[in-house]
């Protein structure tokens, strides 16, 4: 049967329209919060080839608020709503180094809550500006240790207690945080690796990601998937794991924002004793990886993501070829670029020497 060109075109365009309609409806999500999660798992080609392993990074920078903490923010707010603590028109108060605050500020805007953030005054200007642009009220406070009564978390708690209809979301000890990762990030990684994951590693701030993802993977694999902690300088967790549970005093610091911990939070809980091992990653290696993944993979990552990639690479070397290893790409470098890509800042931190000559061209600020 002969079919005229016009009929063909009409039929084709009709079926194309139908296909588009179908894929549009099946691909839609419900608002900002509906877009959280289901992030891609990126195969890191160069590092995989170097080690003979399959190394993957979970692209959490693709969450709509730009970081892994969108999941925790949504989980915590949903939990506060479900328990009746957070009521329509209420206020959310949090102490945060930035990303949880940014996630909370987005979710608060989307759900009609007021958002108040207390943060240490050592954090990048980009994060402070963004929080304000998202309508949050920001209080930068001196960066003092958790034991100090003026620590940003205690100030957030006190503030919420004095404000009517306000909730302190308490990301460090509120286990709705780890639960969000147990219910979403962990299952996604398991499914994306077809249940063949040998090891998972990531650094911790609150511990929500490590404990939530780690617990899920261990349960699902019947204990076969190893979970390793990755820890920056100035954090006590690495030595805690290495010494079998001795908590030493916090000393020193790191250029990696959002990670490192001085205590065992509720979110980490007993899971910290279930990890299979721990890796201490010096800042020199994290900053080199920021530049290296940009150069070799085209990925523009923040320093905690880079630290995680270093940890995954070291774990691949430790476990030997043929293994499948996943880690978290927590956020993009956009949030820290005035630091990470500034020659002056790198010099002040004594980190210029950590960047190989052929990668120095990326330090353009």
| Residue 301 token pair | 């990552």
Binding of ligand PMP by 363 (CB under 6 A): no
106 binds ligand PMP (CB under 6 A): no
With residue 317 as reference, give the H or E element that holds it. helix 303-319
Tokens linked to 187: 């299952």
Return the residue of 99, 185, 278, 286 that touches ligand PMP, per CB under 6 A.
99
Least CB distance to ligand PMP at residue 340 (A) = 12
**CB-based contact 356:294 (threshold 8 Å):** no
Site membership for ligand PMP, residue 278 (CB under 6 A): no
DSSP character at residue 182: I
71 binds ligand PMP (CB under 6 A): no
**Residue closer to ligand PMP (CB basis): 285 or 323:** 285
Q: Under the criterion CB under 6 A, does residue 209 sit at the interface with ligand PMP?
A: yes
Helix (H) / strand (E) containing 60: none
Please give the residues from 257 up to 276 whose contact with ligand PMP meets the rule CB under 6 A: 257-259
By C-alpha distance, which of 55, 57, 52 is closest to 42?
A: 57
Interface segment toward ligand PMP; rule CB under 6 A; list 85-93, 118-126, 207-215, 317-325: 207-215
Cα–Cα dist 27/38, whole Å: 12
Q: How many residues bind ligand PMP (CB under 6 A)?
A: 20
The catalytic residue among 54, 58, 69, 314 is 69
Residue with CB nearest ligand PMP?
A: 258
Site for ligand PMP in 133-192 (CB under 6 A): none
Out of 206, 225, 235, 286, which residue is the one contacting ligand PMP (CB under 6 A)? 206
For position 330 contacting ligand PMP by CB under 6 A, the verdict is yes
Number of residues that this document lists for the chain: 365
Q: Which of 232, 227, 205 is nearest to 271 (CA)?
A: 227
C-alpha 143 chain-centroid distance? 21
**Residues in a beta bridge with 117:** 94, 138
Q: How does DSSP classify residue 342? A: -
Q: For strand 324-329 and strand 54-59, is the pairing parallel, antiparallel, or unpaired?
A: parallel
Q: Return the residue of 55, 97, 180, 340 that touches ligand PMP, per CB under 6 A.
A: 97
Site mask, ligand PMP, residues 279-318, x = CB under 6 A? -----------------------x-x--------------
Question: Quick check: is 69 catalytic?
Answer: yes
First to last CA, the chain: 66
Given candidates 48, 204, 254, 286, which one binds ligand PMP under the rule CB under 6 A? 204
Query: Which among 266, 285, 320, 296 has a CA at the least distance from the CA of 43?
Result: 296
Known catalytic residues?
69
Binding site for ligand PMP (CB under 6 A): 67-69, 97, 99, 203-210, 257-259, 302, 304, 330-331
């Amino acid at each position: 049967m002969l079919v005229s060109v016009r009929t063909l075109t009409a039929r084709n365009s009709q079926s194309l329209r139908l296909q588009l309609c179908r894929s549009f409806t099946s691909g839609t999500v419900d608002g900002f919060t509906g877009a959280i999660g289901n992030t891609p798992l990126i195969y890191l080609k160069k590092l995989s080839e170097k080690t003979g392993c399959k190394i993957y990074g979970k692209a959490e920078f693709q969450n709509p608020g730009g970081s892994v903490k969108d999941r925790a923010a949504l989980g915590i707010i949903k939990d506060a709503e479900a328990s009746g603590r957070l009521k329509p028109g209420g206020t959310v108060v949090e102490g945060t180094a930035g990303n949880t605050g940014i996630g909370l500020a987005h979710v608060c805007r989307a759900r009609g809550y007021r958002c108040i953030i207390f943060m240490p005054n050592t954090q990048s200007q980009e994060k402070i500006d963004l929080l304000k642009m998202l309508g949050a009220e920001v209080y930068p406070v001196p960066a003092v240790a958790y034991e100090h009564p003026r620590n940003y978390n205690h100030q957030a708690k006190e503030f919420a207690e004095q404000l009517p209809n306000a909730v302190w979301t308490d990301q460090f000890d509120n286990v709705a945080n780890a639960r969000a990762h147990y219910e979403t990030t962990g299952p996604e990684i398991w499914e994306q690796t077809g249940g063949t994951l040998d090891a998972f590693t990531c650094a911790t701030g609150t511990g929500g990601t490590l404990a939530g993802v780690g617990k899920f993977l261990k349960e699902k694999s019947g204990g076969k998937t190893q979970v390793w902690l990755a820890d920056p300088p100035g954090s006590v967790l690495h030595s805690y794991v290495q010494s079998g549970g001795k908590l030493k005093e916090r000393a020193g610091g790191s250029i990696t924002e959002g990670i490192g911990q001085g205590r065992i939070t509720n979110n980490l809980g007993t899971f910290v004793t279930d990890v299979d091992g721990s890796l201490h990653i010096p800042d020199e290696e994290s900053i080199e990886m920021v530049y290296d993944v940009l150069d070799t993979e085209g990925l523009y990552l923040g320093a905690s993501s880079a630290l995680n990639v270093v940890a995954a690479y070291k774990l691949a070397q430790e476990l030997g070829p043929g293994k499948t290893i996943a880690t978290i790409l927590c956020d993009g470098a956009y949030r820290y670029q005035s630091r990470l890509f500034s020659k002056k800042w790198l010099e002040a931190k004594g980190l210029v020497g950590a960047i190989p000559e052929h990668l120095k061209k990326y330090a353009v600020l």
